Amino acid sequence: MTAEPLLTPDVLRKLETLELISRKAKAGRQRGDRLSKRKGRGAEFADFRPYSSGDDLRFLDWGLFARFERLFLRLFLEDEDLHVHLLLDVSRSMAFGEPQKLLFAKRVAAAIGFVGLVNLDRVTVTAFAEKSLGKSPPFRGRPALSRLLAYLDELEPQAAGDFNRSMRMIAPTLTGRGVVVVLSDFLDKAGVADGLRFLASRGLDTTAVQVLAPEEVEPAVVGDLRLTDAEDGTTAEVTVTADLLDRYRRAVAAFRTRLTGDCNRLGISLLQTTSDLPFDRVALRMLRG
């Protein structure tokens, strides 16, 4: 569990007017017609949220404006929910880094999940390592935020990863229209192309968020070292020289480029980041497109 909250009040304020929009599911709709619980068009009133530029002015609540001098939008339930599927890598390699990769990924997942909850989307979390470790119960509505954060907070690194096997197990569970966000370092000796294909086969709007530690991208080590594989525990003794560091950097760049190519071919959006960057910046970049 983390000593600090996954989301601070300041981050929540930045996020509360945003929406998750599925580009695939909105095909054929009028421009600007947002997907998640289209405001005012369902039969059942559900909640309010602060007005955001581009929202339909017909569904502003002028009574609340008179009381608080702020614009709020009425939200109504629709027959079909937008599903927000958060897939979180909890393999051993995610325990690495300063700040830790898994903690960073949890915070990004929490931010995206919060936006889904505010807009009455159905949010689930599936943790995976060497296989799928099970899906959370669905979370829905702002009051569910504390339960979502508690669920994420309790996830810990589990075992060696097997991305392809995990995605083969998870893909059939991705039902309903909506979005998939998979957060991982994508470090797998077998590669991840097959797993990405399993995700893409579901036809949902999918985003991959690659989280690496800054010391994985730009290591600052020299001399004789014993390196331990974070996944399987194997060790190797190496002498780190300037030439070896240069070859390592080229290998990391090639690895990230290969992941970019795999995602592009499959129509998967990709965000690549390091765990020392502000996590809310990554979430906002994804949400704002």
Task: Indicate the domain borders of the chain.
Answer: 38-77, 83-288
Higher pLDDT, 167 or 78: 167
Higher pLDDT, 84 or 66: 84
pLDDT band at 12 (very low <50, low <70, confident <90, very high): very high
CATH fold for domain 83-288: Rossmann fold (3.40.50)
Residue carrying the six token digits 């054929």: 28
- The answer to which of 24-28, 83-87, 283-287 has the lowest mean pLDDT is 24-28
The predicted model gives 182-195 an average pLDDT of 96
Q: What pTM does this model have? A: 0.81
Share of the chain above pLDDT 90, in %: 58
The predicted model gives 98-109 an average pLDDT of 97
pLDDT band at 180 (very low <50, low <70, confident <90, very high): very high
* pLDDT per residue as tens digits for the range 225-274: 888 777 777 888 888 888 999 999 999 999 999 999 999 999 999 999 99
The predicted model gives 12-26 an average pLDDT of 70
What is the average pLDDT score of the chain? 85
pLDDT at residue 33 in the model: 32
